[in-house]
Chains A and B, each alone.
Chain A
Amino acid sequence: MRYLWLCFAVFFGTAIKASTGLAKGNSEGIGNFKLSFFQDTVRKDTSAKDTLLNDSIVNIRKTLYNRFSDSVKTTPDQLSLFPAISLQQYLKGQYAGLYVQEPSGEPGSVQNMFIRGAAMPLLSRREVYQAQPLVILDGIPLITEHPFAFDLQQFDFNRPGPATNVFANIDMNNIASVEVLADLSASAIYGPRAVNGAIVLTSKKPGSVRSISFNSYIGMVQRPSVTTINGKYENAFRQRFYDLYTTNGRYSDDENYPIYLSDSLNNVYSGRSDWTDLYYRNALIHGINFGISGGTSRANFRFTLGNTKNQGVADDTGIDRYSAMFNINMKPVPWLVFSAMVNANRLERDRNRYLRDRFAQVNYFPDLSAPLPPNKQYYADYLNQYKKGFDDNKTNLIQGFARIGVEFGKFKWSTTFGVDYNEGYRDVFYARTLLQGNSYASNFYGFNQRLMLDNKGSYDFTPTKNHQLHVEVGQSIQWDTYKYTNAYAYKGANDYIKINLLESDPTNGNYLNPLAFPRELTYRFLDKTGDNLLSFYGKADYTINDKYMISATLRTDGSSNAQPTKRWFVSPVVSAAWSMKKEFLQDNTTFSDLVLRASVGRMGRLNAYDNYAQGPQYTATTGYTGNLTVPGYNAIAVLTRPYSAGWIGYGIPWSYSDQIDIGIDAGFFAERLRLSVDLYSKTEKDLILGVPDYAEYGYKQSLENGMSVNNRGIDVTIKADIIKQNTFGWTSSLNVNHNSNKLKSLPRGLNELVIGNRLLRVGQPFDQYWLLTNDGIYNSVSEIPVVDGQPLKYNGIALQPGDPRWRDINGDNNIDNNDKMLMGHSLPTISGGFDNNLRYGSWNLNLNFYFNLGRKLINQDMANRFDFVNREGNSNISSVKEITFWEKRGDYSKYPMYNPWSTVIPYRTDQDLFLENASFLKLRTVALGYDLTKLLSRKNVKVSRLYVYGSVHNVFTLTPYTGQDPELVSYDGFDPGYGLPIPRTYTLGVKMDL
């Protein structure tokens, strides 16, 4: 730490010295203070197009390299019309190149974002985490939930703890601008954390004019209508297989047909299937944001309070957010500004009641021979048992900074101390009736914390007329800490003591042992990881005549997660822009603007895990399937090589991203038509991949660098004022991204690699499914091909009538992995949004569409329905049936009637039988608004703005997909049927500024 301060002091000192030297000739600049600079101390680059700034931020100098293109509706004011709870929902379909994945409509659940494609194959939640863009709020890079906590669990459905979306902490009413930085030239100053792109949020700033704002909406989410089925229906469905493949209704002597289906007189299962009355609902949502702002030109503040409630349409889910935000600026002397911000949010989330998630959390599977009944009466019993316990999920998120800025003429300096802290609590109690007489209590507390110290100075210089030079140097330190403690226990004394009480008397011999739960069934966990990042950067922009501009950034970053011999990484970025309008088309009336941009650069990528830095290592984990957290041997802690996590050697370098972007911005007919096109290519290099190997040395895999992937594509944004009259206007904008990814290389120069159910093959896209081709069914022995007296086999098992007709691609008379082909894409090749604004007088109509094309998914939900033989009656994950088992989704008649008992597992998901086109077009918003401002001002009511609106969201979806909503898939492209529907929502709202 001492060293740290030392190096600060040295750095600061020299910078000041250097600056004063430089600033000497510019003494008249002192006092010529612009507050605006400090409001956004991060200088917006440069030749990046994607700085989609809002004009309201007047303080950003509009120069050639500060181009804005407000092509798509990007004003937060517009975004805030959507009753979203998370940032991802706000931004979905709004920016070319930003793809938002919403695996569930459950309010406050985790969603994923990818800017210009995924930076690596999404093999697990670890990769999903590492492919996320950085979100920056007022210069604070927001910390997210580290996936290390998943190590605790057998299944990775949810992260332990509240698993609440940490980006549910943004109230769009507090935000002045949202920028999506897709290009390195724009994101380079944010460093390696922004290697996947950055989303920069700037909060509304205080002004010297006193003002009050009030934004509110109230709305309703509409219960979806679904087709329900009951035991009789399911029984009939299965009996068709029995009729076909058995003679006496028994496939084998010891077969055990489920009683809940066979007993047709049983009302519990075969009666009315009306569980939906208790599962789905019409629910309320609302949002209130109240803000005041005021002060003088020397000191001013803005303070807002808000509450948002977002109830889900299914399973009593919902989230409640209480938010407060405070900004302050003070200027005690003309050359010094102090500013601070605090954004605090409290999130309380009601989670779904999926059995799968509960059993995975409890790590215990009760007898599953009787699923939840489809009848309302009996289902209510279950819900009542559930309500005896609780599942409290609370998250507190707080971000804040304090910043001191000084300005001596053209020299500016700012020091920022920033904190992002979020903590999550999950307290669970499941009554004994829910788990065959065993209660369960769990208490989780975890926090993610980022402390940040940031210094930067800049100098603006005009060597000669029309030449401008901007130089910036910066340094920052970030300390990240992630920690959790979790204790859970089984079999409490009764259902009244719902928490895991511990003996609190230190003098008692039983100190800290559980009282109400047996000590032997109480498990405690504690884990911590962290990452320190130290960065230095320099940047220079040079502009000539507002016609040519060149910018260069050079930075070096040191990470504690990098191996000691490879601590530092140098990332250079160069960009240039050229105004062709000014060069050639000065007097052309068709072209109102024409700028060519290009950037090329390299950015390091941080290791997500601190164990990569250790090289060969030892771990305490020696668990096995179903019991991962074995606490050593004979109650003694153990240390062994990380056999299940994988071998890590020395010499692992930084992985990095090489990016090129070429763009053009054009305006036509006095900016009535604006076009912005960007071609990009991003190549990730030296990515770490777990290569399955060294089995004979005990390892599941070896973590090695050397994987390289490429994403290339095009972002297009078109905005046109189709009709522009005084009383009537129609503005239409379209944003599209086309992205294609490709695996460029694998570690060790391998050509292909099988990891789980995926094949990674060099030269092929990495988001493809690896599937057998299904050509129907073998109805009789005579149809099964025979070569040299051997019938066609599946992995050595001779195929029988009733088995699928899989295509023998390599013709070796054996169906195996070599006959699987890469097909489909789990990420869209084309995605975007289409927005229309119609204005008539004070009326305003908005239509917003969102679409994905060229994306496929695996309908696992359907596969599970047909694969009932392998999913019945066992006490494990495969036999779990949710209440939604009694919902009919999709068309059963499309699928051949295979012999479900066959050991080749005919309804396996690694075949194209369940591969479906998941393209879609959604009408996301229809909003009609009326601006009352003029009317009121005529009546001498003093308001600066009053706008009322009504809207419908998620109006319809056009898709060829036969299952649920094609958006509701997990990151790997599988639709397990677990996504809660994204509901149709009706809202009425008001926006008022006084």
Chain B
Amino acid sequence: MKKILYIALLFLVALTGCNKILDKDSVRVVGEKNMWNKLEDARAGIMGVYALTRSALSDNNGHWIYGDVRTGEFLSPNRQDLKAVTSNQLNASYPTIDALSDWTRFYAVVNAANIFMERIGEVKAVDRRYTENNMIVDVAQARLLRAFAYFYMVRIWGDVPFITSSYDGKFENKPRESQAKILVWIEQELQKSAADLPFIYSANDEQQPGSYYGEGDGRWGGALATKNTAYALLAHVAAWQGNYDDVATYAKFVEDNYGKSRINYQSTTDLTNSNGFFYNKNTSQMFGFNSDWGHIDGSVTGHIEELTLAQPVVTKNVPDIYMPKDTILRVFTLLNDQRFSLDTLGQPRNESYFVNFNGKYPIFSKIKVIQGGTNDPNFRYFTSALIFTRLEDIVLLRAEALAVLGDTNGAWNEIVNIMTRRGVTTIFQTGDVIDVVFQERRRELMGEGHRWYDLVRYNKIKQNNQQFMQLINSQGIYWPISRKLISQNNQLTQNPYWK
């Protein structure tokens, strides 16, 4: 008996000593104790919020399916799921539609931003390399991305659960909060963020002196949110709310200050070149998420090219979506429009926006950043940046605001500014200026995920399309909430239109 006791005792001794080999950190993930200790952790954290935002928008090509495909202006020859989207059958049971009804990936952005803002002080406290200013700028970005994620969500689902802290480990199910309330909050957050954001990084902006995380301005241009980004988003938020006074103000700020962020207008050639505006990253991408070729960051999916390109631009027989010939002709009515117009013989003047116009499927090829900006058709590997907004968008948004506010001349000035840059020389300033603004937005921003929201705003202004008004009033402009989410969170309710 004694011996057993001894042995048991020895076991105990051995156990405590040998615990060492059991304390082994994973090399695949970082545990809590090894995070938020260093400058590099802060950098990994804030870049993580950007990466999650890009993933949220790119997943299943959501940005374009929400924004462009849903309008029904593009058609899909083969993909049954996209056919269902174009015909507004958003409760059809296709995996893509299920995935796009799921907001989880946007809340990942929200959660990552929440955690970042809650924990970043820990880095500040222990790593002296991490400056006060660095933290202010980082927090401003996290704040902006969180607000952006909410803005994106309310446009798609209307009311959504409103969560502004991480609830780490003590997660609670939340009901949906009114969209109006969230939008007010988004505006406040963006204003706060705008106050702290610099115009430019690593270029001696007074709000961001020195180099940002030790990298030069070339690294950051177009990759990070700037003060202009914040104001551009504010303009969009205000427009969605219908506060056109604010839209005009915010947009004016961008028009006055874009140069400070080295943003510029794009020529038609730059806009449509495979190594032009959409290629990699550049400072003119006012708010964009790049997939830089040099960074081995391209992919076959998560780019609009995956949906739109086919023969003869890439070796793929039939595009996932295309714009029918008659729609194109209805949209591009301006003479000498460099984007698309017919010459006197009725032939397309160029192939900027559409290739194979006379074929069965005209290929929408405005954005066609293949590999390193080449025209190699054989490998459908794309590096185009996902652009949420650019200068032309904000100028036209201001035009929209001025038009609504009754400043027709001001609106026309903005429109003319854009049209002239697209080669349109003969501009008759007649007709309903609101119609003209939206037509021009449609032409200019085609394939950039704006059209659906433009249609919503347009119809809210005009109130003359019975069918669309019905859709707005019955909340049919929103997407259904994934059944999976409703079954997980019993506080959620389905959008009434999709019940």
Residues on A facing B (Cβ under 8 Å):
1, 3-4, 6-7, 10-11, 14, 18, 21-22, 148, 252, 254-256, 363-367, 369, 436-438, 473, 475, 477, 479, 490-491, 519-523, 527-530, 532, 534, 536, 538, 556, 558-560, 562, 564, 567-568, 610-611, 613-620, 622-627, 630-643, 647, 649-650, 692-700, 702, 754, 794-797, 816-817, 869-870, 872-875, 901, 903-905, 908
CB distance from A163 to the nearest CB of B (A): 21
CB distance from A920 to the nearest CB of B (A): 32
In-complex Cβ contact of A641 among B20, B60, B112 (8 A) = B112
A490–B381 contact, CB under 8 A? yes
B371 at the interface (CB under 8 A from A): yes
A872–B78 contact, CB under 8 A? yes
CB distance from A493 to the nearest CB of B (A): 14
B80–A697 contact, CB under 8 A? no
Whether A4 touches B77, Cβ cut-off 8 Å, given contacts A697-B107, A697-B166, is no
Provide the residues of chain A in CB contact with B58, threshold 8 Å.
624, 627
Whether A636 touches B301, Cβ cut-off 8 Å, given contacts A520-B294, A695-B489, A698-B111, is no
Give the contacts of B278-298 with A (CB-CB under 8 A): 281, 290, 292-298
B203 at the interface (CB under 8 A from A): no
B488–A611 contact, CB under 8 A? no
B378–A622 contact, CB under 8 A? no
Residue interface bits B23-49, CB-to-A below 8 A is 1, else 0: 111111111100100000101110111
Whether A873 touches B92, Cβ cut-off 8 Å, given contacts A637-B44, A697-B166, is no
Whether A696 touches B10, Cβ cut-off 8 Å, given contacts A367-B315, A636-B44, is no
**Which residue of A is nearest B54, CB measured?**
A633
Whether A692 touches B52, Cβ cut-off 8 Å, given contacts A618-B29, A643-B111, is no
Expressed in whole angstroms, the Cα–Cα distance for A534 and B14 within the complex equals 10
B485 at the interface (CB under 8 A from A): yes
In-complex Cβ contact of A369 among B29, B318, B484 (8 A) = B318
Expressed in whole angstroms, the Cα–Cα distance for A363 and B299 within the complex equals 10
Expressed in whole angstroms, the Cα–Cα distance for A903 and B89 within the complex equals 9
Expressed in whole angstroms, the Cα–Cα distance for A615 and B220 within the complex equals 34
Q: How large is the interface on B (under 10, 10 to 19, 20 to 34, 35 or more residues)?
A: 35 or more
Give the contacts of B293-350 with A (CB-CB under 8 A): 293-302, 315-318, 320, 324
Expressed in whole angstroms, the Cα–Cα distance for A614 and B173 within the complex equals 25
A617–B29 contact, CB under 8 A? yes
Provide the residues of chain A in CB contact with B6, threshold 8 Å.
14, 18
Whether A520 touches B484, Cβ cut-off 8 Å, given contacts A529-B28, A532-B22, A626-B301, is no
In-complex Cβ contact of A697 among B51, B76, B163, B315 (8 A) = B163
Whether A696 touches B21, Cβ cut-off 8 Å, given contacts A622-B51, A625-B59, A640-B108, is no
Provide the residues of chain B in CB contact with A3, threshold 8 Å.
17-18, 20-21
Provide the residues of chain B in CB contact with A632, threshold 8 Å.
47, 51
5 additional contacts, CB 8 Å, given A614-B25, A625-B99, A634-B220?
A567-B22, A632-B51, A640-B108, A796-B498, A903-B89
Provide the residues of chain A in CB contact with B55, threshold 8 Å.
622-624, 630
Expressed in whole angstroms, the Cα–Cα distance for A694 and B103 within the complex equals 11
Expressed in whole angstroms, the Cα–Cα distance for A365 and B316 within the complex equals 10
Expressed in whole angstroms, the Cα–Cα distance for A538 and B10 within the complex equals 13
A797–B29 contact, CB under 8 A? no
* Among B29, B94, B108, B290: residue with most chain A CB under 10 A: B29
Provide the residues of chain B in CB contact with A613, threshold 8 Å.
24, 26
A436–B378 contact, CB under 8 A? yes
A795–B93 contact, CB under 8 A? yes
CB distance from B91 to the nearest CB of A (A): 4
In-complex Cβ contact of A7 among B17, B317, B324, B499 (8 A) = B17
Expressed in whole angstroms, the Cα–Cα distance for A194 and B76 within the complex equals 54
Name 17 A/B residue pairs within 8 A (Cβ), A-sorted: A7-B13, A7-B17, A366-B315, A528-B27, A567-B19, A614-B25, A614-B26, A618-B44, A624-B58, A624-B105, A625-B301, A638-B47, A639-B45, A647-B169, A696-B163, A754-B484, A816-B483
Provide the residues of chain B in CB contact with A795, threshold 8 Å.
91, 93, 483
Residue interface bits B202-231, CB-to-A below 8 A is 1, else 0: 000000000001000001100100000000
Expressed in whole angstroms, the Cα–Cα distance for A649 and B3 within the complex equals 41
A556–B26 contact, CB under 8 A? no
Expressed in whole angstroms, the Cα–Cα distance for A523 and B297 within the complex equals 10
Provide the residues of chain B in CB contact with A560, threshold 8 Å.
21-24
CB distance from A748 to the nearest CB of B (A): 12
Provide the residues of chain A in CB contact with B99, threshold 8 Å.
625
**Which residue of A is nearest B161, CB measured?**
A696
Expressed in whole angstroms, the Cα–Cα distance for A723 and B108 within the complex equals 71
In-complex Cβ contact of B489 among A437, A637, A696 (8 A) = A696
B15 at the interface (CB under 8 A from A): yes
Expressed in whole angstroms, the Cα–Cα distance for A367 and B306 within the complex equals 12
A796–B91 contact, CB under 8 A? yes
Provide the residues of chain B in CB contact with A874, threshold 8 Å.
78-79, 320
Provide the residues of chain A in CB contact with B402, threshold 8 Å.
none
CB distance from B246 to the nearest CB of A (A): 29
Whether A534 touches B102, Cβ cut-off 8 Å, given contacts A622-B51, A633-B48, is no
B20–A873 contact, CB under 8 A? no
Provide the residues of chain B in CB contact with A697, threshold 8 Å.
107, 111, 163, 166-167, 171
B43–A636 contact, CB under 8 A? yes
**Which residue of A is nearest B35, CB measured?**
A618
**Which residue of A is nearest B223, CB measured?**
A634
CB distance from B408 to the nearest CB of A (A): 40
